[in-house]
Amino acid sequence: MTTAAIIFTMIGVIQIGQMVAANKTGLTRKTRPAFTASLTAKKGLTAKQVMIFDKVWLNTGDIYNPATGVFTVPMNGLYLVSSSMMSDRGTHLHCHLWRNDQKNVGVFGTGFSQGSLNAVMNLNKGDSLTIRHDGGGNENVYGLHWSMFSAYLISK
């Protein structure tokens, strides 16, 4: 074997090792828990109302329920959770990410402005995550897919 062939073989082995190390979870694109859902139409919100994102774009493992707006964590791990919300014309919008009964990071918008949240979280199997309206009065969230909620497992 030539020196060049040995180097290429070693590079190949290193690359395969890196790919295996990066996927220690054993999860694939088809089995890694992930979802993305968006809101199709403008919606009026009351205090503490759970946002229901009715258009599901991806729901690997059926972890998001579009009837209730609840993401149920299927396994312990490190997750990236994101939401982007757009307020309607002439209104404010106050929302927060909730983990079980605990309020976490928030989103604010006013008059067609958009706020977003991104949180890396250690979550446990069975945890429930929702986006809830947190304003005291009635507020409107803009739809047409400008408002969304998503999460995926980074690692176990």
Considering the chain, what is the average pLDDT of its residues? 85
Q: Output DSSP code: residue 140.
A: E
Q: Which residues in 44-81 are b (16+ Cβ under 10 Å) and which e?
A: ebeeebebbbeeeeebbbebbbeeebebbbbbebebeb
**6-34: pLDDT as tens digits:** 444 444 444 444 444 455 667 787 889 99
What pLDDT sits at residue 47? 85
What pLDDT sits at residue 31? 84
pTM of the predicted model as reported, rounded to 2 decimal places: 0.81
Q: What is the enclosing helix (H) or strand (E) of 14?
A: helix 3-22
> Is the pLDDT assigned to residue 112 strictly greater than 70?
yes
What pLDDT sits at residue 24? 61
Query: Tokens 């009351």 — which residue?
Result: 46
3-state secondary structure 34-86: EEEEECCCCEEECCCCECCCCEEEEEECCCEECCCCEEECCCCEEEEEEEEEE
**49-93: pLDDT as tens digits:** 999 999 999 999 999 999 999 999 999 999 999 999 998 888 888
CA atoms within 13 A on the CB side of 29: 0
What pLDDT sits at residue 109? 84
